[in-house]
Structure 1
Amino acid sequence: MTNLAMNKRIRVVTIDDPALTEHDTAGLTGWVHDCGAFVFWLAQPERCGVCWSAGHTRWAFNGQWKKAYIREAS
């Protein structure tokens, strides 16, 4: 049995002004890091788990995050 939800492509869209509440209909807002990692988190994360795991500790911390939301790719 195939899970159709797993076969959908998504697009991460950054929100230029973090004070805006623009998001998709499901409200799936989060943060995108400069490395491309996306996390669902209300507040800006302290560090990027992907960069931290890869040993890029100088990239892993705050300052490289942008508020974002996901949208189904068309």
Structure 2
Amino acid sequence: MNTVRAAQEGGPHAVATKEVISMAKNGPKGGGRIGAVKNRTQFENPATGTYTKRNATTGQFMNNKADSNPFKGIRREK
């Protein structure tokens, strides 16, 4: 929803000006991220066969996948 502000400057015959403030919108369809997410990597856990996401700067484990498919858009460790 847009917020519209009307402001009058001057006497009774002054023209009102409108300033439109737009809200955040979804981008075009299919226009998502290009390339991998930065500062994150993933690797396959050999014990469980699932993928684990890791913060590349601190090395902290962030998340595990419930299924055996890799995370989308995250670089793989070698």
Same fold (TM over 0.5): no
Task: Tell me which protein shows more strand as a share of its residues.
Answer: 2
Point out the structure with max Rg over C-alpha: 2
Instruction: Between the two structures, name the one with larger relative contact order (CA 8 Å, sep ≥ 6).
Output: 1
> Which structure shows the bigger proportion of residues in helix conformation?
1
TM-score of the superposed pair, with normalisation by structure 2 = 0.22
TM-score by length of 1: 0.23
